[in-house]
A and B are shown apart, each in its own frame.
Chain A
Amino acid sequence: MKLQNENIDEIRYNEDVSKKMVNPFVKLIKDKERIAEAVQNGQPLSSLKDIKFVNPI
């Protein structure tokens, strides 16, 4: 598999990874929708309890 902009020829896909983990992309999509709704309603993002916001160091 060739990656964009990178001469890497192989990525191994290990089926042993636990499928019990939440799909992080699906969670991010849902988080973005909740954040957009909160912003439109003037609700502080810190009130969205299960989203871990980070600030630059």
Chain B
Amino acid sequence: MLTRYDTILLSKGGGYQFTTSDGDVYIAYFTEFTLIDSNQNEILATSFGFANKEGNKSHRHDVKIKNTIIHLIMEFFENQDDAAILYICINNDGRERNRHITFGRWFNEMNKDFERYSSLGEHAKAGFYSSIIFKNTNPRRLKLIESFYFTIAYYWGLGENNQ
């Protein structure tokens, strides 16, 4: 059993809160996210993120933070076979690539029942890092993959000539 921090579900959709042994308070949250496919259909997904009350200050490496985040994501999928979680690493401090790599490493530590698809190298050159994850048994699997890449290509104008 991985060690993690206890989480508190905040009221009124306010996300989950946990406090580290160093006293850092984190809020993890899920929000609605709508992809589009090539037939103009809206494909509902969920975005995931978390924030620290101390902002972007440097923190001691703490494996329990990773375990807590993975736990929340796994719990999200527990009763939702057709769900998908999208996350994006914003470029507000020049460390978005590092965060994207870290999150990918965390994903690899999840069990093998999940798949992850990421924005492409040309997107990274434009400072855009995003991934979508879902169960490998997801009945919407192909639709999610197509709409994830279509939405990126459509709105960022990237990827159309990548054949």
Residues of A with Cβ closer than 8 Å to B? 1, 3-6, 8, 10-14, 16-18, 21, 23-26, 28-29, 31-33, 35-36, 39-40, 42, 44-46, 51-57
Contact = CB atoms under 8 A, between A and B. Distances in A.
A32 B49 contact: yes
Contacts of A40: 51, 53-55
Interface in B1-44: 9-15, 27, 29-36, 38-40
B52 interface: yes
A44 B12 contact: yes
Given A26-B155, A44-B12, A46-B12, 18 more contacts: A4-B117, A4-B118, A5-B117, A8-B145, A13-B150, A29-B90, A32-B88, A35-B27, A35-B29, A35-B51, A40-B51, A40-B55, A44-B10, A52-B32, A53-B14, A55-B9, A56-B78, A57-B80
B152 to A, nearest CB: 7
A25 B149 contact: no
A28 B29 CA distance: 12
